[in-house]
Structure 1
Amino acid sequence: AKDGFGFDQMKSHDFTVNTARMMISLLAYNLTNWLRTLSFPTTSKGIQIRTIRTRLVKVASKLVKSGRYLHMKISSHFVYDHFFWDVLARVQRLQFN
């Protein structure tokens, strides 16, 4: 759990601040595990948080508004675009089921 979530960092001398930071880190950890369990392909369920950040969060894109719609334009050089769109489609299917 320390790998990538900041559990090993206590940046304040105040106990309350450190407790709040730990709670936010635990929330991020649980949400990431929920996302991994419910919407990742079976071959990718064991990947670590650094890989998840690289494939899903660090995406060079632009949000474009056209009429009433928003479109996300991903860079044509993005290596993990198939994985990104696959996970996004799985999340959208979970949204209304």
Structure 2
Amino acid sequence: MTSSQFIPNYARMMLSVLAYNLVSLMRQLLPAQHQRLQVTNLRLWLFKVAGKLVTSGRQLYLKLSRHHVYQDLFYQLLARIQALQWG
């Protein structure tokens, strides 16, 4: 553990559990041929993408690079996340 105190270690563990569960959910939502990807590849393909946050009126837009190789996979995953029914 990174600290000799309980609370910081507990918080770090809970964040790690949350991150693991989010990656697990994303893997389940990916198309079948990509569900076995390692975390390193998921991070590289889907999160390490050049982009910028743009404000227009009261809307926020995330503009991603047009040259993103895995753009279709990113938008497929985004659509599946948005289609989830919570509650």
Tell me the TM-score range normalised by the shorter chain.
0.7 to 0.9
2:12 pairs, out of 21, 24, 28, with: 21
1:87 pairs, out of 34, 54, 77, with: 77
- Provide the TM-score with structure 1 as the length reference: 0.73
Do the aligned partners of residues 67 and 15 (structure 1) sit closer, same or farther apart at CA in structure 2, a change above 3 Å counting? closer
**Corresponding position of 2:61:** 71
- Provide the TM-score with structure 2 as the length reference: 0.80
Q: How many residues align?
A: 87
Over 4 Å off, 4+ runs: none
**Aligned partner of residue 13 in structure 2, secondary structure:** helix
